[in-house]
Amino acid sequence: MTLDILTKELKSVSTADIKNGWSEKHAKSDVTFGLNISSVQKVAKNLKKDAILADEIYTGDNHDLKVLATFIDAPESYTRDEISERIKQVYPSPFSDKFCENVLAKSPFAVHFIDSWKDSSEENLRNYAYTTLAAIAKQKNKLGVEFFVNHLNSISGCIKDEPRHVRKAMYKAMINIGCRDNFLKEACLAAARRVGLIRLNGNSSVDLLLKIQKASETRKPVFA
C-alpha cells in the first residue's frame, strides 16, 4: 500500500451520509475530507500494519490520513525516545485521541508517559496522559487497583481546574476505570461524589456520579 493509494481511498469515501464529520477546526487546520472515526476505521480494516507508511503519514498535513495511520502503526516498534519525538507531531483532535488509544496505550511505555505527563505544565501533554489512561483502563492488563485508585484521587482533586479538553479526557478515564471491576467502581463513585457536577461543553454541567453509575450498569467489567 502506498500513500497515494490511501489518499485515493479516503477521498472516495462518500461524506453525504456522515454525521458528525470533522471540520478544519477539529483538524487544527490540517487538510481534511470531512470524515469521522467510523469511516476511517472501515478503510483501516482492510489494511495491514505498516509502521514505515505510518511514519510517512505523520509528517504530512492531512488529518484524515493521520487518524488512519494510528490504525496501521506498530506500537511495539517504538522506543521511549521515539514516542517522545512522535508526540511533538500530535495535536489535540481526533488524531491525538486515536494516537493515544491505538499506539501509545498499546506500547510498552504507556504507564511511563501517563506518569510523566499528568503533572506537566503543558496542558496538551496532560490531555494525552489522561486519554491514554482512559484507553488502558479498558484493556485487560496486569495493572493493579492501586495504580487506578491513585489516578482517581489525583483526578478528583484537580479536574475542575483543568481546561475543557483535559477535563474531557479525565472524565473518560474515570468512567473507564469505574467499569473495570466492582472495587474500582466503588472507588470511582466515591471520587465522583467529591467532584460533583463538572462542565464539559459550554455552560452545561454533567453529573459525573450519575454517568459512572449508568456506564457500570451497561458495560461488561473488563475482568468478568
Q: Rounded to an integer, what distance in angstroms lies between the CA atom of residue 155 and that of residue 191?
A: 8
pLDDT at 202 over 80: no
**CA–CA dist 63, 99 (Å, integer):** 12
Distance CA 65, CA 32 (A): 9
Q: Is pLDDT at 43 greater than 60 in this prediction?
A: yes
Q: What is the pLDDT of residue 223?
A: 62
101: confidence class by pLDDT, cuts 50, 70, 90: very high
**Which phi and psi (to 5°) does residue 149 adopt?**
-65, -40
**What is the rounded distance in angstroms from the CA atom of residue 174 to the CA atom of residue 151?**
9
- Under 8 Å between Cβ of 160 and 203: no
Residue 201: in which H helix or E strand, if any?
A: strand 197-201
92-105: burial string, b at 16+ Cβ within 10 Å, e else = bbbbbbbbbbbbbb
| d(C-alpha 138, C-alpha 17), whole Å | 30
Spell out the domain ranges in the chain. Answer: 1-108, 110-224
Residue 107 grid cell = 506500547
- For residue 38, pLDDT over 90 is answered with yes
CB 165 within 8 Å of CB 92: yes
| Angstrom distance (rounded) from CA 78 to CA 206 | 37
Task: Provide the Cα torsion 94, 96, 100, 102; round to 10°.
Answer: 50
Out of 38-42, 126-130, 184-188, the most confident range is 126-130
Confirm if 102 and 47 have CB atoms less than 8 A apart: no
Q: Are 40 and 64 in contact (CB under 8 A)?
A: yes
Q: Where does the pLDDT of residue 224 fall: very low under 50, low under 70, confident under 90, or very high at 90 and above? A: low
Rounded to whole angstroms, what are the CA distances from 95 to 2, 30, 70, 161, 202?
20, 11, 8, 25, 23
Which helix (H) or strand (E) is 56 found in, with range? helix 51-58
pTM, whole model, 2 decimals? 0.93
Query: In this predicted structure, what is the pLDDT of residue 20?
Result: 86
| 79 φ, ψ (degrees, to nearest 5) | -90, 170
